[in-house]
Amino acid sequence: MRQKGPKGPMNLTPKQMRIFQFVRQYRTANGWSPTLQEIADELQVSKVTVFEHVEALVMKGALRRDANKARSLSEVEDAVPPDEAHGLSFPLLGRIAAGMPIERCAQDEKVQLEEIFGPSTARRGEMFALQVEGESMRDEGILPGDYVIVERRSTARNGERVVALLQDGETTLKTYYKQKDGSIRLQPANEAFEPIIVRDCTIQGVVVGVLRRY
């Protein structure tokens, strides 16, 4: 008999939620469970950290595992993570310039995806949302008023759209390129705008989705 999860949604931390969803997605894609090392590689954390979170997920009734078997992690039947019970939401941290950089403004709001699109099975993890201002990313379909969903990361690969914090404290949404001379080019997607060339910047996250309300 399969173990069943507790009634009602569980109280999971963002890391625990990401591990739970990665285990489920991995099992769906591959037919077997990920190892702790594979989870650690995905989250870019230590295996010890993953072990601690997995133990917490087992205690909360979200995951089950057989300590004597490899690749035995699986989600508990009827486990209901909180954002799947109440509709997916991300904290709305402010507005991001797709044009000239603007100062970041924190706001105590959330983007409720269920209100915009209905129940969603979109990718989830440590995410936040920013509302776009300006048209510098227009040619990639990112328009003023859109919401970009950002995965919190401190590194990026060439060609990824990033939220970059510049040394003057301003933020901007651009495509990231590390150039041969070591400088960073933050490239707009609108020929009316010039790229921003800097020696250094702080990557606050990588864009994984764009939302638009019609």
Q: What is the pLDDT of residue 74?
A: 83
In the chain, where the domains are located: 14-83, 87-211
Confidence of residue 81 (pLDDT cuts 50, 70, 90): low
Residue 198 clears pLDDT 90, i.e. is over it: yes
Q: Which fold has domain 87-211?
A: Umud Fragment, subunit A (2.10.109)
Pull the structure tokens for residue 55. 């133990």
* Catalytic residue from among 7, 89, 136, 178: 136
Q: What is the mean pLDDT of the chain?
A: 76
Residue 189 phi, psi dihedral angles, 5° rounding? -120, 55
Q: What is the pLDDT of residue 60?
A: 82
Residue 152 clears pLDDT 50, i.e. is over it: yes
Q: What is the pLDDT of residues 90-142, one digit of tens each?
A: 555 566 666 555 444 444 455 555 444 444 434 444 677 888 888 999 999 89
pTM of the model: 0.50
Contacts by residues 35-42 (CB-CB < 8 Å, ≥ 24 positions apart): 35/70, 35/71
Rounded mean pLDDT of 196-200? 94
Same CATH fold, 87-211 and 14-83? no
Q: What is the pLDDT of residues 136-149, one digit of tens each?
A: 999 998 998 888 88
Q: Which CATH architecture has domain 14-83?
A: Orthogonal Bundle (1.10)
Give percent of the chain with pLDDT exceeding 90.
22
Residue that is written with structure tokens 């509709």 in the block: 87
* Catalytic site includes residue 120: no
* Higher pLDDT, residue 71 or 109: 71
What is the tally of helices (H) and strands (E) in the chain? 5, 12
* Catalytic residue from among 174, 178, 180, 183: 174
Residue 2 clears pLDDT 50, i.e. is over it: no
Q: What is the pLDDT of residue 177?
A: 97
Confidence of residue 44 (pLDDT cuts 50, 70, 90): confident
Q: What is the pLDDT of residue 99?
A: 55
* Catalytic site includes residue 89: no
Residues 122-141 as b/e (b if ≥16 CB within 10 A, e otherwise) read: eebbbbbbbbbbbbbbbeee
